[in-house]
């Protein structure tokens, strides 16, 4: 872990250095254990060589992969494109209220019908009734259920939540994250620029 932190700190020192290290193709986006990039400016990228080393040392989890492979005499490893640290690097920020983390909390399933298709968000208590945009009032919902529910409460719409929404902790998100194989959650690390947008309160 210490080595990884040093690695990250060194790389984060200057944008140039990061660009140079990642510039040999196949940069790997490094997420903290809370699935947010370690840093944004510059974006935390490692060279694929450093990422493979961390995988072999079992310090990171592979979240997404490139289509390419690297070969050694004894191993063939698919090149990672997004990895997350297994151990959280403490930073002064709370668990982000982002699309990704919300979907992750709900296991990428509609909290009304369990469908995994065409997912969007639903305010359990509608905004018109004073419902807030927060962990406790937003759930993953498929478009169909969202349309069916409209601007009503679940009770009014006679739709039942599988369980009430709650603010997850880091451990929960990590446990959920491990259930999904690489590339299930997103195709490329560029998706993160979309996924990691904070939901507006």
Interface residues toward Zn ion, by CB under 5 A: 110, 112-113, 115, 142, 145
State whether residue 62 is helix, strand or coil.
strand
Nearer to Zn ion, 78 or 144 (CB): 144
Q: What is the DSSP string of 71-85?
A: E-SS-EEEEEEEEEE
Nearer to Zn ion, 62 or 142 (CB): 142
Nearer to Zn ion, 9 or 161 (CB): 161
Reference 117, options 145, 149, 139, 138; nearest CA is 145
Tokens of residue 172, six digits: 């929960």
Nearer to Zn ion, 60 or 110 (CB): 110
Q: How far is CA 39 from CA 11, 62, 84, 115, 191, in A?
A: 10, 18, 13, 33, 16
Nearer to Zn ion, 8 or 103 (CB): 103
Nearer to Zn ion, 82 or 110 (CB): 110
Nearest distance in Å: CB 125, Zn ion: 18
Nearest distance in Å: CB 36, Zn ion: 27
Query: For residue 101, what is the enclosing H or E element?
Result: helix 99-105
Nearest distance in Å: CB 146, Zn ion: 8
Nearest distance in Å: CB 179, Zn ion: 20
Classify strands 28-31 and 76-85 as parallel, antiparallel or unpaired: parallel
Q: How many other CB atoms sit within 10 Å of the CB of residue 169?
A: 12
Is there a contact between 26 and 68 (Cβ–Cβ < 8 Å)? yes
State whether residue 178 is helix, strand or coil.
helix
Nearest distance in Å: CB 140, Zn ion: 9
Nearest distance in Å: CB 197, Zn ion: 23
């Amino acid at each position: 872990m210490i080595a990884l932190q040093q690695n990250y700190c060194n790389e984060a020192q200057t944008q140039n250095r990061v660009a140079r290290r990642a510039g040999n193709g196949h940069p790997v986006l490094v997420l903290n254990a809370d699935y947010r990039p370690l840093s944004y400016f510059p974006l935390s990228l490692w060279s694929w060589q450093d990422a493979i080393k961390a995988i072999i040392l079992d310090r990171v989890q592979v979240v997404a992969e490139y289509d390419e492979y690297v070969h050694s005499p004894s191993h063939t490893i698919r090149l990672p494109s997004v990895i997350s640290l297994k151990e959280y690097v403490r930073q002064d920020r709370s668990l982000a209220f982002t699309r990704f983390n919300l979907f992750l909390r709900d296991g990428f399933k509609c909290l009304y019908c369990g469908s995994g298709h065409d997912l969007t968000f639903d305010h359990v208590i509608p905004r018109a009734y004073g419902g807030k945009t927060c962990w406790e009032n937003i759930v993953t919902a498929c478009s169909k259920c969202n349309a069916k529910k409209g601007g009503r409460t679940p009770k009014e719409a006679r739709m039942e939540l599988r369980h009430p929404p709650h603010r997850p902790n880091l451990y929960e998100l990590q446990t959920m994250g491990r259930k999904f194989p690489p590339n299930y959650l997103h195709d490329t690390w560029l998706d993160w620029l979309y996924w990691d947008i904070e939901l507006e309160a």
